[in-house]
Amino acid sequence: MLGFVLTPIYELMVTLKDLVAISTGSACTSTSYTPSHVLKVMGMDDDQANACVRISWCHLTPEVDWEAVADRIRTLR
């Protein structure tokens, strides 16, 4: 999980959605917009958990252009 304190998390998700699989929850709840129950169990409060995203990729997904991901994140500052 990655945390982004200064960026509205849904803006980040929209910005990156065509580059990587991204969600606010676990893989089992990737269609949900609620905070990850795993992060809550780890001791994060709702604000902290809501500032985190999960970025996923595997051998079945196209190769991720991490430079493009970083460039897009930089535009959100």
Active-site positions read: 28
Query: DSSP letters along 19-77, please?
Result: TSEEESS-GGGTT--SPPHHHHHTT--HHHHHTEEEEE--TTSPPP-HHHHHHHHHHT-
